[in-house]
Amino acid sequence: MIEDESDSESLMHRQTTGEDRVRMVARQLSEPRTANWIASEAGWSHEPTKRVLERLVDDSILHRDESGTHTTYYPDYRRQAMQEAMRLRDSGQTVEELTERLAEMKAQIRDWEDTFDVESPNQLRGTLAEETLDDEEEDQRRDIAREWEHLQRRIKIVGFAIREWDFLAPTTEPAEASS
C-alpha cells in the first residue's frame, strides 16, 4: 500500500506543475499557513511558491496576514463557504435531504452536550484537566471536540444552502448588472 501511495504522489507531481500544486494546497487551507509550509506541501521551492501566493492575494483568492512573526496566507472563507453551498445545491440532494442532514448534525452536538455536560468543544477539552481519564478517553474527547467544531462550521454552510436554495439554483441566464 505504501508503494501505491508513493506511485500516486509521483503521478501527481508528473501531471501537475508546481504552480498547480501550490494553488491546490492554497485553496484547501483551513487555517493560515506560511509560504514555507505551503511550498513543502506542494513539493515546490519557496521563492516560486511565494510568487504564486502573491498573485493569489492580488486576485483576492487568498489573504495575507503580516501581523505575526511570520507572514501567513489563508483563503477567503466566505468564498469557500459560498462555493461549498453551491456544491451542496448542485449535488443532486433535495432540500429535504439537506434539512434532514442538518437535523442530524444538530442532534449529534446536543448528544455530546448531554453526554459530557458541556456547552462547547473547548469546554469538552477542559474536562481533560478536570477528570481522571485514561489515554483512550482523552483521545476520544479531543477527537470529538475537533468533530464538534467541524459540525458547527458545516451547520452554518448547510443552513445557508437551505435558506438560499432558490438563489443558489444553477441558471443559464446571465446576471444583470445594475448601474
Domain borders along the chain are 2-75, 79-163
pLDDT, residue 63, reads 93
Quote the pLDDT of residue 100. Answer: 97
Q: Which of 99, 116, 112 is nearest to 150 (CA)?
A: 112
The identity of residue 114, as a single letter, is D
What predicted TM-score, i.e. pTM, was given to this entire model? 0.66
Let me know: does 158 contact 134? Beta carbons within 8 Å: no
Per-residue model confidence (pLDDT) at position 47: 95
Q: How many CB atoms lie within 10 A of CB 91?
A: 11
Q: Which helix (H) or strand (E) holds 141?
A: helix 135-163
CATH of 2-75, one of 3.40.50.10470, 1.10.10.10, 3.40.190.10, 3.40.50.300: 1.10.10.10
Give, in order, the Cα–Cα distances in Å from 41 to each of 12, 33, 75, 133, 176: 12, 11, 16, 35, 41
Contact 65, 72 (CB under 8 A): yes
Place of cell 468564498: 79
Q: What is the pLDDT of residue 172?
A: 63
**Mean pLDDT, the chain cut into blocks of 10 residues (179 residues total):** 50 74 89 95 95 94 93 88 91 95 98 96 92 89 94 94 92 60
Specify the residue for cell string 472563507: 77
What does the pLDDT read at residue 1? 44
